[in-house]
Amino acid sequence: MSGTTQKYRNFVAEPMGEKSVTELAGIGETLGGRLIEAGFDKAYTVLGQYLVLKKDKELFKDWMKDVCHASSNQASDCYNCLNDWCEEFM
C-alpha cells in the first residue's frame, strides 16, 4: 500500500459500505462539497467513476481536477486510496 496518512489507512482497512466522499484520502470538506454538488456524495460513487475510467491514473486525476478542482497531489492521494482499496477488496 502506498498511502501513509491515517485517513488513507482507515479507508483501505475495511469495506467501503456507505462511507462519505470526505472519507477518501485527499478529499476534505471543500473538495467533498464540490463532489457532492456534482452528484458524488458517497465514496462508492467516486469508485464507480474510477472504474469507468478503467483505473487509469491520469484520466482519474484529470477528472478530479475538472469536477472538484483538486490539486494534482489531492487527486493522486484519492487515486492511490481507491486503487489500493480495490487491490484489497476486489
Domain membership of residue 60 (yes or no) is: yes
pLDDT, tens only, 19-41 = 999 999 999 999 999 999 999 99
- Which residue type does 60 have? F
CA distance linking residue 8 with residue 85, whole number of Å: 9
pTM for this one?
Answer: 0.93
What pLDDT digit, counting tens, does each position of 52-82 carry? 999 999 999 999 999 999 999 999 999 999 9
The answer to the question of residue 41 being in a domain is: yes
Number of domains in the chain: 1
Q: What is the CATH number of the domain that holds 80?
A: 1.10.150.40
Which cell is 88 given? 484489497
Residue 1: inside a domain: no
